[in-house]
Amino acid sequence: MFSKRYSFAKVTEMGCCGCFRFAFPRKTKRFLRPSAVSRNHISQELLLNEELEDEYDDCSYNGDVTDTGNGDDGEFRSPAKRSEEILMYRTQHGLICREFPVKETHKIIRSEDENGNKMVNEYVRECKIGSGSYAKVVLYRSRVDGKHYAIKAFHKSHLLKLRVAPSETAMTDVLREVLIMKMLEHPNIVNLIEVIDDPTTDHFYMVLEYVEGKWVCEGSGPPGGLGESTARKYLRDIVSGLMYLHAHNIVHGDIKPDNLLVTGTGMVKIGDFSVSQVFEDDNDELRRSPGTPVFTAPECCLGLTYHGKAADTWAVGVTLYCLVLGKYPFLGDTLQDTYDKIVNNPLSLPDGINPLLMNLLEGLLCKDPSQRLTLKAVAEHDWVIGQEGPLPQYLCWCKRNKLQKQRTDGSSADTLTLATLTIV
CA atoms within 13 A on the CB side of 308: 31
Sequence-distant (6+) residues with CB within 8 A of 216 are 226, 234, 257, 260, 261, 262, 268, 319, 323
CB atoms within 10 A of CB 30: 10
**136 annotated to bind ligand:** no
Q: β-strands 103-105, 192-197: how paired?
A: parallel
Q: Decide: 327 and 337 in contact? Cβ < 8 Å.
A: no
Choosing from 197, 254, 272, 337, the catalytic residue is 254
- The C-alpha atoms of residue 276 and residue 330 are separated, in whole angstroms, by 23
- The C-alpha atoms of residue 332 and residue 145 are separated, in whole angstroms, by 49
Q: β-strands 250-251, 260-262: how paired?
A: unpaired
- The C-alpha atoms of residue 32 and residue 38 are separated, in whole angstroms, by 9
351 is catalytic: no
- The C-alpha atoms of residue 263 and residue 95 are separated, in whole angstroms, by 29
Determine if residue 326 is left, alpha or beta; phi over 0 gives left, psi from -120 to 50 gives alpha, anything else beta: left
- The C-alpha atoms of residue 22 and residue 129 are separated, in whole angstroms, by 14
Looking at the annotation, which residues are catalytic? Answer: 254
Question: Which amino acids are annotated as binding site, given as ranges?
Answer: 152
Question: Which amino acids are annotated as binding site for ATP, given as ranges?
Answer: 152
